[in-house]
């Protein structure tokens, strides 16, 4: 994902959790920016990372989705930067029944 983007997922069954490793993609080698990741469930933010730049370790994401109907993953710029920053939700898993 590019910084300043989001994707919304309709949960069409009973889902219990979302997990991922959120971080700046290694293809952003020439970037000078930082990003912040957020997870929303039913429009409410349930998780947010600190500012992450190239070379920072990924942030571990683990949130409950019990009783939720939608999941939205958001990436925003977290400071100045003149070049686009690519962000990854690596190893993303939505646990459902």
pLDDT in tens, 38-76: 999 999 999 999 999 888 999 999 999 999 999 999 999
Confidence of residue 9 (pLDDT cuts 50, 70, 90): very high
What is the number of domains present in the chain? 1
**Bridge partner list, 70:** 10
Domain assignment present for residue 88? The answer is no
Is residue 9 classed as helix, strand or coil in its secondary structure? strand
Domain assignment present for residue 50? The answer is yes
Q: Give me the mean pLDDT over the 26-36 stretch.
A: 79
Domain assignment present for residue 38? The answer is yes
More confident residue, 29 or 16: 16
Q: Which domain holds residue 29?
A: 5-79
Q: Give me the mean pLDDT over the 77-96 stretch.
A: 88
More confident residue, 24 or 61: 61
Q: Give me the mean pLDDT over the 2-10 stretch.
A: 89
Q: Of 62, 59, 54, nearest to 79 (Cα)?
A: 54
Other CB atoms within 10 A of residue 21 CB = 14
Domain assignment present for residue 90? The answer is no
pLDDT score for 11: 97
CA atoms within a 13 Å half-sphere pointing along the CA-CB vector of 63: 26
pLDDT score for 69: 97
Domain assignment present for residue 59? The answer is yes
């Amino acid at each position: 994902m590019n910084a300043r983007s989001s994707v919304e997922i309709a949960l069409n069954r009973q889902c219990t959790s979302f997990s991922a490793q959120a971080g700046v993609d290694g293809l952003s080698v020439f970037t000078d920016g930082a990003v912040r990741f957020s997870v929303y469930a039913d429009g409410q933010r349930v998780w947010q990372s600190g500012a992450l730049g190239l070379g920072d370790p990924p942030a571990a994401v683990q949130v409950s989705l019990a009783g939720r109907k939608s999941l939205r993953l958001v990436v925003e710029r977290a400071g100045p930067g003149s070049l686009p920053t690519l962000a990854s939700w690596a190893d993303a898993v939505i646990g459902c029944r």
